Amino acid sequence: MTERSRPMHLIRNTFPSLPVEVWTSAWNLVSSKEDLKSLSLTCRLFRDICQPSVFAEVKHTNDRFRYAPPGIGISWWIEDADYAVRRIYGLSQHPIHRHSVKMVHFEGLREGSLSSPSHRTQVELSARYRTLISTYLLALKSFTRLREVVLQSAIVVDDDVALALSNLKFMDRLRIIDCAYSCSKPVSPSITVKELFLSNFAPTVKLFSNKRLHVLSLYGFSVPLLSHFMTEGINNHLTDIFIALGARDSMITVTAFLGSCPVLERLRLSSRLPLSDPPQLCLPANALPRLSSYSGPAYFATSIIPGRPVQDIETTDHRGMNLQQNDIEMEHFLGSLHRSTGHIRKLHICHIPLSATTLVFIFQFFPRLRSLEVGFDRSTARKDQFPITAHDRDELALVREHGCGPASACSWQDTGGGDDGSLKVRLLSPVSLIICLSH
Nearest alpha-carbon partner for 342 in 291, 301, 300: 291
Residue 41 has pLDDT above 90, yes or no: no
Report pTM. Answer: 0.78
| Residue 394 · residue 357 · CB < 8 Å | no
Write down which residue in 55, 74, 92 finishes a domain.
55
Mean pLDDT over the full length of the chain: 78
Q: Which H or E element spans position 126?
A: helix 119-142
Question: How many C-beta atoms surround the C-beta of residue 334 within 10 A?
Answer: 20
In whole angstroms, what is the distance from residue 60 CA to residue 142 CA? 17
Question: How many C-beta atoms surround the C-beta of residue 31 within 10 A?
Answer: 6
The boundaries of the domain holding residue 45 are 1-55
In whole angstroms, what is the distance from residue 267 CA to residue 218 CA? 12
Write down which residue in 14, 32, 55 finishes a domain.
55
Helix, strand, coil: what percent of the chain each, to 5?
35, 20, 40
Instruction: Compute the Cα dihedral for 112, 114, 119, 120 and give only its sign.
Output: negative
In whole angstroms, what is the distance from residue 439 CA to residue 430 CA? 29
Q: Are strands 425-427 and 410-412 parallel, antiparallel or unpaired?
A: antiparallel
Does residue 117 belong to any structural domain of this protein? no
In whole angstroms, what is the distance from residue 73 CA to residue 125 CA? 12
* pLDDT at position 384: 38
Strand boundaries in 261-370, DSSP class E: 266-271, 293-296, 312-315, 346-352
Does residue 430 belong to any structural domain of this protein? yes
pLDDT tens digits for 253-298?
899 999 999 999 999 998 877 666 667 788 999 999 999 999 998 8
Q: Summarize the confidence of residues 44-61 as an average pLDDT.
A: 76
* pLDDT at position 328: 63
Return the SS3 of 76: helix
Does residue 106 belong to any structural domain of this protein? no
Does residue 123 belong to any structural domain of this protein? no
Instruction: Give the dihedral of Cα atoms 34, 39, 42, 45; nearest 10 deg.
Output: 180
User: Residue 85's beta-bridge partner residues?
Assistant: none
* pLDDT at position 221: 76
Does residue 193 belong to any structural domain of this protein? no
pLDDT tens digits for 173-210?
999 999 988 998 999 899 999 999 999 888 888 899 98
Does residue 139 belong to any structural domain of this protein? no
pLDDT tens digits for 128-144?
999 999 999 999 999 99
| Residue 253 · residue 223 · CB < 8 Å | yes
Does residue 395 belong to any structural domain of this protein? yes
Q: Under the phi-then-psi rule, with left for phi > 0, alpha for psi from -120 to 50, and beta for the rest, what region is 178?
A: left
Q: What is the number of structural domains in the chain? A: 2
Write down which residue in 14, 33, 55 finishes a domain.
55
pLDDT tens digits for 219-248?
887 788 898 899 988 999 999 999 988 766
Q: Summarize the confidence of residues 33-57 as an average pLDDT.
A: 67
User: Residue 438's beta-bridge partner residues?
Assistant: 377
| Residue 82 · residue 97 · CB < 8 Å | no
Is the link from the previous residue into 69 a cis peptide, with omega within 30 of 0?
no
Q: Summarize the confidence of residues 293-315 as an average pLDDT.
A: 93
Does residue 80 belong to any structural domain of this protein? no
| Percent of residues, the chain, with pLDDT higher than 70 | 67
* pLDDT at position 223: 84
Q: Which residues of 153-171 are buried (b: 16+ CB within 10 A; e: fewer)?
A: bbbebeeebbbbbbebeeb
